[in-house]
Structure 1
Amino acid sequence: MRNHKNAIRLILSSALALSVLSGCSSQSQETAADPANAANSASAESTETAETLSAGGEDGVFTIAYAPNESTTESADARNGLAEDLSEFLGCPVEEIQASDYNAIIEALRTGSADMAYMGSQAMALGVERTDLEPIVMKAEDGDPEKAIYHSVLITNSANSDINSIENIKGRTMAFVDPDSTSGNLIPTAEIIQAFPDDDLDSDKLHTNGDFFEAVSFSGSHQAGLQAIVKGDVDVAPISDQILASEIANGNAAESDVKIIHESGAIPTEAMVVAEHVTQETRDRLTEFLTSYDNEQYFTDVIKVPGARFIECDMSDYEDIIELNKIINEF
């Protein structure tokens, strides 16, 4: 559907050679005066309670989960702005969970602790193995479907004169982002395997100290990985090109601090996904709200792409990444 598919399929072939909303509810008023009406009222309330519980939780609150990349202190005002606007649109309280990692987000969606979450395609690929998730909108630069892509880049400190391409990373120290990160783990893993066809690599070897890399770690976030490069704590780290640009624009790193030594093919952008318990009516309303949302601060500070907007999407936009995840984990 979008121009990321050919790039992902190339990697694939290489790897093979929250009424309305889930948490919104209203209390029934007791107006019955006689036993029959009271019984009917109790029955209706019981049905409503059951529907509310199955949709999003008994507290009547719609909950959005964010990963560390999006739940920074600097983006708190923008996230709160969306929560307030969505609360007004839906007519119920909206809160957020700042999850420790993507695994925690998936578990929150599975158990009903969260109703919606912002995640990348690798986390989605892992999530669909544990619960029924559905992406409803994805980010797109300028709201253009053809720009609903980004890239994973490998970076090193500019002072590393002997690391200039992906071919120079063997035997170095590497800090991946998160096991469930698309641009911070899945894609760079696939690209490294592709770049070293004679090394008989698999995911385990790339994530084991002393095999391909001298030492391997997970930084926990793209921002932390970037800082590890700037400080010289590790030799190489993958990062989303959009987050890298945002961090430089916000003064958290200088362009002269790092150099890009490899860029992946196009990757489908992150999406807002809803949990299995969220009703279709709620999904439709969320899609309506998000595709018309135009608070620039949110897209700049949280989504990390100034001028971006949400566009509708579905699982077909991520099927190639889901398949790639299966292949990499079968190596």
Structure 2
Amino acid sequence: MKGLKVNCAIMGGLIFFTALLGTGGGLYAGGQQTKSPAASGPAGWPQELVICYLPNEASEELTEYRSALQGELSTALGIKIREINAADYNAVVEAMRTKHADIVYYGPVSYVQAAERSGAEAMVTPAIFGDKSRAGYTSKIIVKAGSPIKTLQDLRGKTFAFVDPASTSGNYVPTLELMNTFPGMTNEDFHTNGRFFSSVMFSGKHQNGLQGVINGDIEAAPVASDILAAEIAAGRAKESDFVVIHESPKIPSSPMAIRKDLPADLKVKVKQFLLAYKDPNYFQYMLGMSPADRPEFVEAFDRDYDYVRDLMAKVIPQ
């Protein structure tokens, strides 16, 4: 994604970030540090591990659920766990590349980028009933309840907010859905003011786009189905606030990844912990998965994201 400038606007109290397609802010803020054992782990292990979160998971409202996982992981490993929160999707890739982060819950596209650039190694991904064949989520394009917009065709000339240049369900997937609906139009067309949308921008995170639509600041936006479910479960949105006008095919679930160059026995311990972690509050409020579906982490592999690599090549041909 090159050469596309996106406007910075302040609408109804939502700050939409100035961005250049193909670049990112690269900044990440310090976060929570768990109370952890004073003793260090086995020889060769680092004294602490750093978990980095995407903006969608880094909100204050989710601190309780992040801290619960970190505290239990710290106890299981016998080393400190520290949190940092990414300013944007590119920052989580850079954080692992520069060894400022050891574990990241990536989106599928940012994972592929991190696997290529940062030595990220997929460990686990969430699945209902622990059934990997049922793992996945979708990208939903929403409009405000009562909007005259009913289909993708009705979006022409409207205002639209993608999430982040590296967001799978917030940029790549909805862009491909639009390209398939309007043959001959390109990724650049859908990200340049006046070519298809009257105004197009990035909101920074799914929750911003959701609230922008509900508040009437923008006319349409894509939102990941799991994040949408989590926002409804937490009471920050109601199903009556919006209408889904389009839903994508299923996307591979986001992976929790670890730095490939960490000690092998440490990576095994982290994966074992995650595969055994079944806190229903974490899965419901962090990941938008109903406790009735008994969600849990299942093993993830790099090959699981070959679909995403193909998706990226279709949206931005090399």
Same fold, judged at TM 0.5 (above): yes
Aligned residue in 2 for 1:13: none
Aligned residue in 1 for 2:150: 164
Query: Deviations 1:227-248 (Å, cap 9, x if unpaired)?
Result: 0000111111000112112212
* In structure 1, distance between residues paired with 2:111 and 2:73: 23
Please report how far the alpha carbon of residue 285 of structure 1 lies from its aligned counterpart in structure 2 after TM superposition. Answer: 1.1
Structure 1: runs of 5+ lacking an equivalent = 1-23, 29-47
* In structure 2, distance between residues paired with 1:279 and 1:164: 52
Alignment equivalent of 1:269, drawn from 253, 270, 285: 253
Aligned residue in 1 for 2:12: none
* In structure 2, distance between residues paired with 1:27 and 1:157: 51
* In structure 2, distance between residues paired with 1:27 and 1:102: 31
Please report how far the alpha carbon of residue 112 of structure 1 lies from its aligned counterpart in structure 2 after TM superposition. Answer: 0.6
Aligned residue in 2 for 1:82: 69
Mapping of residues 298-317 of structure 1, within 5 Å: 298-307=282-291, 308-317=295-304
* In structure 2, distance between residues paired with 1:224 and 1:27: 40
Structure 2: runs of 5+ lacking an equivalent = 1-37
Q: Note if 1:211 corresponds to 2:198.
A: no
* In structure 2, distance between residues paired with 1:201 and 1:131: 33
Aligned residue in 2 for 1:176: 162
Q: Using a 3 Å threshold, how does the CA distance of structure 1 residues 89 and 204 change in structure 2: closer, same or farther?
A: same
Alignment equivalent of 1:71, drawn from 33, 58, 65: 58
* 1:116–1:272 Cα contact (<8 Å) kept: yes
* 1:112–1:277 Cα contact (<8 Å) kept: no
What is the one-letter code of the residue matched to 2:81? V
Identity among equivalent pairs (%): 37
Instruction: Please report the TM-score for the alignment, with normalisation by the length of structure 2.
Output: 0.83
Mapping of residues 154-303 of structure 1, within 5 Å: 154-161=141-148, 163-197=149-183, 200-303=184-287
* In structure 1, distance between residues paired with 2:283 and 2:238: 22
* In structure 1, distance between residues paired with 2:264 and 2:178: 41
What is the one-letter code of the residue matched to 1:248? I
Q: Note if 1:142 corresponds to 2:129.
A: yes
Aligned residue in 2 for 1:36: none
Higher RCO (C-alpha under 8 Å, 6+ residues apart): 1
Query: Deviations 1:89-108 (Å, cap 9, x if unpaired)?
Result: 11100111111111111111
Aligned residue in 1 for 2:94: 107
Q: Aligned to 1:69, what secondary structure does the other structure show? A: helix
The structure in which a higher percent of residues are strand is 2
* In structure 2, distance between residues paired with 1:26 and 1:250: 37
State which structure, 1 or 2, has the greater radius of gyration over its C-alpha atoms: 1
* 1:151–1:183 Cα contact (<8 Å) kept: yes
* 1:71–1:302 Cα contact (<8 Å) kept: no
What is the one-letter code of the residue matched to 2:131? D
CA RMSD between the two structures:
1.9
Instruction: Please report the TM-score for the alignment, with normalisation by the length of structure 1.
Output: 0.80
* In structure 2, distance between residues paired with 1:193 and 1:292: 41
Please report how far the alpha carbon of residue 25 of structure 1 lies from its aligned counterpart in structure 2 after TM superposition. Answer: 8.7
* 1:156–1:261 Cα contact (<8 Å) kept: yes
Report how many residues are paired: 278
Please report how far the alpha carbon of residue 279 of structure 1 lies from its aligned counterpart in structure 2 after TM superposition. Answer: 2.4
Q: Which structure 1 residue ranges, 4+ long, deviate > 4 Å from structure 2?
A: 24-28
* 1:151–1:265 Cα contact (<8 Å) kept: yes
- My pick for the range that moved more, 314-323 or 241-250, is 241-250
Aligned residue in 1 for 2:30: none
Query: Deviations 1:269-325 (Å, cap 9, x if unpaired)?
Result: 111011232222222111110000011221122222133210001011111101221
The structure in which a higher percent of residues are helix is 1
Q: Aligned to 1:149, what secondary structure does the other structure show? A: coil
* 1:157–1:235 Cα contact (<8 Å) kept: yes
Please report how far the alpha carbon of residue 260 of structure 1 lies from its aligned counterpart in structure 2 after TM superposition. Answer: 0.3
